Each structure stands twice: as C-alpha cells, then as structure tokens.
Structure 1
C-alpha cells in the first residue's frame, strides 16, 4: 500500500482510553520512586507527546516486520511487565531507543546498516533488556536524588535524545544537574547488563548471537576514530572492553547456519526505495547488485526493489514483469501483494484489485497489510460501505491504528456520512496529539447528527471529555 507517510507518531503502551481512566496527578517533578504503574502512565504521556514531535515511517509492512521481530523476543524475555510497542523513525542514522512502559523506537538507518536479521535483532533485544530491567526508571530515580527535575524537562530531553542524541544527552544532564562522567559511568553498567540479557533473549528466540558480535565489532572498528560517531554510539558507548565482552559471550554459543531471510531483505529494499535519502539511480544500482547475489533472499529482494522503483516512477509494464516473476516464487508474500495492489490502483484496475484482495482477505481476515490495501482499493472503486465494514472489524480487533482511522474517515466521506467522517477524523488527530483539532471535529460531528441520535451524541461527548483531559495532561507535562 503506497502510503508515503512520515508521521509524527510514537508507540503507546496503553490505549488512550485505558490511561485516561486511571491517570493520577504526577506532579510537577519527576518521581523519586517510579512504580510499574507510574512508568506505564509516563509511557502513555510520553507516547502522546512523541506522536506530536517525531517523524515516523508509518507503513503497514514495516510495522508488521518490526512487531514480529520484537514480539518474538519479548516472548523469550523474563520480567516482562509492559505490553511492548515497536515503531520506526524515518532517519538514516544508526539508532534505537527504549523509553518508558515498553516503547521501543528504531531508526530506519538501523536496517540500512545491518547485514542480517540477527544483527537487527541484537539491537532490538538489547533495548528490550533495557526495559525489562527498568534501566531508564532506575536511572531517572538516581538522577532525581541528586537534583530534582521536572517531568516536562525530562520528556523534552528524551524526545530530543531520539532525534539528536548529543543534544538529548546534554539536555538530560542539564535537566538533572549531573556531570557527564557520572552519567556515562551509570550508562555503561546498564549497557553491560543489557548486552548480557539481550543476547540471551535473541538466542532463545532463534537468532544468531554471533551476529551481535559482528555488528558491534563492525560499528566499533568503523567509528573508532570518528569525530562524529553515529547516534547509536552516543547513546550506547562502545569501549573496547564492552566489545570484547560481547565477542567472548557470543563464542559460548554455537554459530547458526545461514538461512534465507526474505522479510529482512525485503524490508531493507522497501526502506531504500521509499524511506531513505537514496536517489533513484543509487537505489537501482544497489538492487541490481543484489540480483547478482548467490543468496536467493537477497536476489529476490533486489528484483522486488526494482519493482517498487518502477511503480513509484510510473514504469508500470516493467513493474508488472518483475512482479509476475516474483509471484511465481512466493504467491502469497505480503510485500508483493502490497506492491501489486499499488500497481493496480495506479492503473485504475480496481475490479482486478478487489478480486485479488478478496481471495487474500479470505485467507487472512483482518491482517493489516491485506485489510488496509483492500479498504483503500474499495474506496477508490466507489465501494465505501465495503471499506467501512472491513475497517470497523479491523479496528475492533486490532485497536488504535492511524491508517485505519484515516481510511475510515475517507470512506465515510465518500459514503456521504460527514458526521461519522468527522468522528474518525477526530480519532486520527487525537492519535497524533492534535487534540484541539480533534475536539473541533467532534463538535462538527455533533451538529451534523440528527437531533434524535442521542446514543451517538453521548459517545461524542465522552470522546470530547477524554480528548480535553488528555490535552490538559500534555500541556501540564
């Protein structure tokens, strides 16, 4: 599905409705003791602030991929006390960031620089360990003992740390009134613990721990003398003894035989083609080099990347040729399904697209890539009621989803139901932290409903109260 969306969004550990029902007053300063409940609350508030500040690649395929990798490892972790959420930030820098309440943000540059799925998993596993060990909460408690900080200052520093780690670290140190050396010493202790636990998590989940060693060793060697190291090394220092520890720990495990990693290489191709700063010429050269590979997954991804470029640059005949060959190898691959739907939509072959997606929907009802593509085509084909049925079922099962809200808004507009279009526009805006706009949409919706529609008006009033409350929370922190 061709959503060229770099949205302002971050993950939420609780739904807004859940959090709104049980948020106590956090006060003006960060807490000397951060309980599990308070961390969940702070995670929800931070997530809503992040949605209004961070550029996120919000793409169903990329979201599914990182969620699959992350949840596979969370299932193998001890001490899990939060429902984890994983999102991508559109940034070519190498970085990943763990924040309150199970939220993990990874830069797309992490995939661009990883050479295997296990290398990527090593970083995600490391961040999972930071959360299960509550390193951030423990660090904030310790820093707060030295110099109390405001929650607003803390959240601003954390957001800045994701976008620009060097400035974020400086801001966090200023907020806490700590020296640089004290902060680094504390961080290194956490890093060693996260390395150990993260490697165990990734190994138990079936990934190769030797790839953790290769990734960190390569990063250390490449940027040893760099005056401006990547973001990841600013927030995760790599002194020689730490790299040695990782290498020695990996040697305790049996090395895995390489297996095809189709989804990893397809994800990498998608990011290069649509969500990086690569020129078309550079991306095309990369994909053609991949096609020469002796590894089937890399070769497959190379042809997929070329198909993406062809669709995006309106070379539809060439794109169809690439996709036809790829479908022979993997007829139900979601990456191919998404791109073929893009091709059919761009060429206005809506009837063909609907028939194609109907079959996939029967196989995987409510799967987000299939459902969102299917609904999008139905809207284009002037069948908004069909899209509305699918999307409401999808949101009922999956919960909050920005693209689901956005498509449902468009479907109701197409169906000439302006009140319901405004309700879901409000949901969409609230999800991104745009509460004033959301409240205005709800008020419009209420005016557009029939006078005797008391049930829907009460629901709108409840949403308005919730959004107003969340807006106050964001302003207060």
Structure 2
C-alpha cells in the first residue's frame, strides 16, 4: 500500500520495564512542547500513526502469543509513568520476527520484535533499549526532522513510517517483500541524527533511573551488540542500522551513566526468564533443536528457565507426556506461577485435553479475572471443546475490551462460522479487514452481509454506517499514503 516513491526515513521504537518510582528532579530535561505543530500537529501524528498501524497489521506477521504480549504490555505500563511521553494513548504490537528491533511511530504505536527479548541478557538491558526508544517518541524527533528539512506539508510524515515495514515484514517465514529500491532507500535514510541519538540516550537513562533500573544497562547493551557484529561481516541487526553505535557514543553514554544514581532495583525477574525461554523455543531453527537445547540445559543447570523451556519445547514437539512430567517435577512455587500455570493449560489444549484445559483456565480466571491471556486461552479452549456459545461470549467480551486486536476478530469470525451465524461472520470479517487496511475487502464483506437472510432495519442501518466509515477511511488513507 505504501508507494515506492515515498521517502523512507524511519523512526525506532519503544517499550519498558517494571518500576519503583523515585524523584529525579536534578536530572530532569525539558519535554519538547508542541512547537513543531507548525509542521505536524499531535492530532495529525495520532491519526497518521493509527492508520499506518492498519498497514502494519496487514503486512507484518504478528506474534500470536497472548502471554508474551501481556508481559511486554505490563512492562510498558510500568515504565510509562517515568517517561516524558505526554500522549499516553499507546498501542502495542509484538511481531513474529527474530531480529533485534523495536520501534515507535507517531500516534503512540509501539512495536517490539520477538528477537529483542532474545538479544537482551537481562531485563535491565531490555528496558534500556526500550527507554531509549521511548525517548525518541517523547522528544518528537520525527517531527523535529521534518522541521529541519523545511517540510511544510504535514502528510510528508508518512515517509518516516515506510522504512519500518521493510524490516518488520521481511522474515524467513515469507511476507510480501517491498521493492529492492525501497529497501535500499530505507537503509540509507533510517538513521537518526547524532544529536537525536545522544538526546535519546540521555532522556532514556533518566527514565531508567526514575524507574529504579541501572542506567549502565544501556551502554552495556550497546557495547555488547557492537562487539557481536563488528568482526564477522554479518549484516547488523536493524537496530544498529537505525541507531549507529560508535565508540564515542558508548563512551559518552558510560560517562552519563556514571553521573547518575545507581539504583538498587532488580536487573532480572522470573517473568523475563520465562518469556525469554518462550522466545528461544519460538525462534529455534527447529522444534527438535529447541528440545535438545533445553534438555542439555537442564542437565547442566537446573533452573526455572531450563525447566520451563523444556516444557515449552516438549509441547511444540508434540510430546505431551514429557511436558506433563516436566511440569510435575517443578517446585510447587514455580508451578503456581501464573505464566507456568497458563502454559500448562496450553499443554493440555494442544494435546487434545480440552475439558481439562477449560477447567484449569476457569479456575485461573477466578483468581485473575482480568487476565487477558487466561481469557484468550479459555475462549480457544471452549471453542475446541465444542462449547461454541460460551466461546462466543468470551471472544465478544475480548473484542469489546480490545477492539483493535485483529487476531481476536479473525478468531471471532471463525467461531461465528462454526456456530452458523452468517451475518455475524461477515461483521467480524469487516472489522478484521478494516484493522488490516484491506478496505476493498471490507466493502465486499458489507455487500455479502446485505445478502444475508432475515436482516432487520437495524442490521441494514448498521451495515450502511460501516460502509460510510470504510469509504471515509479509505479516502483518508489515500491522502496519507
């Protein structure tokens, strides 16, 4: 959908970490005000970013893993109060991409590649990258760049977003690949200015200290990444292409970190270790390789990370007995951890024990009634168990609470189809196509919906309204992209 002629200057991303707040007034930096609104207003940024998010959903593979999503979402909302982001209407995307990258675009759209979790050795390192990206967002570096280039047309901001799709959609699993010319242009134009990078380092470290996280994690992370790719002739990860890391920059960040308070907050968490194990299984070269890795790891070092990873690897290798045995051999305190209990429910579900999965997930929901992963897994378990009415109630409740989750609408459409609800299938598909920028297909679904039997005047009015909204959105996006 993005035109190949669009300039591809990209911005990179955001995410965050658990916090313990304390004031840091001596190190506070001024937040960029809306002085850049002469070029692009905050409202224009918001609308543009949210429409671009539709394209992202349609072109880049999302990581359909409610547990990993919840972990990153929790980190986001724990770190956000310590940042300088003013407009906190944020939306998180987790991409099924093993590369090390994260990005934030205008409108509070935040993307994290699964590989970012793999690249971080500690939770503090993960936080440092995300705090740095959050600073790019709060300081409105993309709008500043437009002003510096004397671009007086706000919609030219769309060009900043194009390059992100190049790396987000280019996975080994195979997505629609953009033209090589666009990719080359993106590589040449992605980098931030040196001034913006230094400012993002500085503001990001301030966020870390305020969140009770060691600011030294940032230069440590950058230095390790630079060493990893410096001597091997490999193509650097996307993050290093968009954020060039030099010796002088590392030295500068080390100097800044040494002048900041060194909090005593945690560098690691059990949640990070468990989610990292999930990503190691997810992005292993093969399920068999993942199984071998965690079997060896458990023999050498009996840790929660190794035990949980072995249970995950056994599940994806279709070895439910090994997964169950590994779960039962865990200490009681580990089995009771929410992430582990939810994963055990996944094991039950994938091994066909749907009734037991439903029972376990209902019990977990009684303890954690707002748990999005538990609600999502329960909806799937109910559907697989043939309890379609109950499954529909769960999916509809989730879609009301998370209306921009395209995956939920897709699953709702499938479940409505199993229940034989023709009009409801079309309406769920309309929402899915609108969220993934497939607007012509959304209009087709509206046509199909109008042919359904037994439509009421209310049904027809609702479809007419969706058609008007879809056509208006299509026109708006044509002017933007």
TM tier relative to shorter chain? 0.7 to 0.9
Give the one of 270, 274, 289 matched to 1:266: 274
**Can you give the 5+ residue segments of structure 2 that lack an aligned partner in the other structure?**
1-11, 14-36, 171-177
Q: Distance in 2 between matches of 1:424 and 1:439?
A: 13
Establish whether residue 344 from structure 1 lines up as the match of residue 348 from structure 2: yes
Q: Distance in 2 between matches of 1:168 and 1:220?
A: 26
Once the two structures are TM-superposed, the CA of residue 117 in structure 1 deviates from its matched residue by 0.7
1:115 counterpart SS class: coil
**Can you give the 5+ residue segments of structure 1 that lack an aligned partner in the other structure?**
1-9, 12-30, 175-179
Once the two structures are TM-superposed, the CA of residue 201 in structure 1 deviates from its matched residue by 0.9
Give per-residue Cα distances to partners, 1:239-289, cap 9 Å, x unaligned.
Answer: 112101211222233253756511111111111212x14233442343245
Once the two structures are TM-superposed, the CA of residue 374 in structure 1 deviates from its matched residue by 0.7
**CA separation of 1:214/1:286 partners in 2, compared to 1, >3 Å: closer, same or farther?**
farther
Give the one of 410, 413, 418 matched to 1:409: 413
Give the one of 210, 216, 226 matched to 1:210: 216
Give the one of 26, 39, 42 matched to 2:45: 39
Give the one of 250, 254, 266 matched to 1:247: 254
* Residue equivalent to 2:20: none
Give the one of 461, 471, 475 matched to 2:474: 471
CA contact (8 A) 2:327 2:335 kept: no
TM-score of the superposed pair, with normalisation by structure 2? 0.82
Once the two structures are TM-superposed, the CA of residue 321 in structure 1 deviates from its matched residue by 0.9
> Which runs of structure 2 are paired with 1:356-371 in the superposition (5 Å)?
356-371=360-375
- Cα RMSD (Å): 3.1
Establish whether residue 171 from structure 1 lines up as the match of residue 185 from structure 2: yes
**CA separation of 1:147/1:359 partners in 2, compared to 1, >3 Å: closer, same or farther?**
closer
Once the two structures are TM-superposed, the CA of residue 167 in structure 1 deviates from its matched residue by 7.4
CA contact (8 A) 2:212 2:264 kept: no
1:326 counterpart SS class: coil
Q: Distance in 2 between matches of 1:362 and 1:436?
A: 42
1:88 counterpart SS class: strand
Establish whether residue 256 from structure 1 lines up as the match of residue 270 from structure 2: no
Give per-residue Cα distances to partners, 1:103-128, cap 9 Å, x unaligned.
Answer: 22222222112100110110111111
Give per-residue Cα distances to partners, 1:316-364, cap 9 Å, x unaligned.
Answer: 1111111223372234434323332232223332222222111112222
**CA separation of 1:90/1:346 partners in 2, compared to 1, >3 Å: closer, same or farther?**
closer
Give the one of 231, 238, 247 matched to 2:238: 231
* Residue equivalent to 1:7: none
Quick check: 463-472 or 306-315, which moved more? 463-472
Q: Distance in 1 between matches of 2:291 and 2:330?
A: 17
2:110 counterpart SS class: strand
Q: Using CA pairs under 8 Å that are at least 6 residues apart, name the structure with larger relative contact order, 1 or 2.
A: 2
CA contact (8 A) 1:154 1:172 kept: no
Q: Distance in 2 between matches of 1:473 and 1:103?
A: 18
Establish whether residue 222 from structure 1 lines up as the match of residue 236 from structure 2: no
2:86 counterpart SS class: coil
